[in-house]
Amino acid sequence: MRDERELSIVRRQLNRLGMTISDHDPAEAPPAEQTVDVVVMDADAIAIKSDLAAAWKAGAPIIALIGTETPSRLKWLLDLQPASFLIKPLRSAGLYTALVVAFDSAQRRIDEAAHIERLEDRIRSRRVVFAAVLQIMRAHGLSEPDAFTLIRQTAMRHRTTIEQLSAEIIAAGGMPNRTTRIA
């Protein structure tokens, strides 16, 4: 931020919350060696065509300070994906709410990305499950639902995932020999 009045408001509020503050010029690249928990950025201080905004958003949630409400500025701001925002001119109220919303939004994004990754892993493993079902169908003369039920029940009995058991079926060329049951 460049406006001293707004900067003093942000400093005062963050100090009251016990946060350590590090000032940086938004027109310059962020220091590589420094990690931050949140970035409070004056969205009007960075040129729309600048790649610096992308560098600032690497990892930390952004609270954007918005003063200019032109369509191009708002489009650029949405592309930046701020976790929260404040309208300028700043007041002493609102920063705590923006911080809470920013941290919650950042955590939700992390949780959603992890959930999507797990779902994508399961989608990728469906080929293995399908191949294992086909292998069990051929080996035991079962229908597709019966072969899948056998795999599912075996996986439950041995407390493993269907995907893991299917990979073992493919590797072993049939149902793996599991002589011990896990209680």
Cα end-to-end span (Å), the chain? 61
Q: Which are the contacts of 62, defined by CB distance < 8 A and separation ≥ 6?
A: 38, 39, 40, 41, 56, 80, 81, 82, 83, 84, 102
Range(s) within the chain of domains with CATH label 1.10.10.10: 113-172
Compute the distance between CA of residue 178 and CA of residue 68 in angstroms, rounded to an integer: 67
What pTM does this model have? 0.69
Range(s) within the chain of domains with CATH label 3.40.50.2300: 4-93
Neighbours of 158 (CB within 10 A): 15
Burial of 182 (0-12, 13-18, 19+ CB in 10 A): exposed
- Per residue in 13-40, pLDDT (tens digit) is 999 989 988 887 766 776 777 778 888 8
- Per residue in 106-151, pLDDT (tens digit) is 999 999 999 999 999 888 889 999 999 999 999 999 999 999 999 9
Tokens of 98: 């923006």
Q: Which are the contacts of 73, defined by CB distance < 8 A and separation ≥ 6?
A: 43, 44, 48, 66
Compute the distance between CA of residue 84 and CA of residue 146 in angstroms, rounded to an integer: 51
> What stretches of 27-161 show up as alpha helix (H) in DSSP?
52-56, 71-80, 95-140, 144-157
So what's the architecture of 4-93 in CATH?
Answer: 3-Layer(aba) Sandwich (3.40)
Contacts by 21-28, CB closer than 8 A, 24 or more apart: 26/1, 26/2, 26/52, 26/56, 27/52, 28/52
- Per residue in 159-179, pLDDT (tens digit) is 999 999 999 999 988 888 765
So what's the architecture of 113-172 in CATH?
Answer: Orthogonal Bundle (1.10)
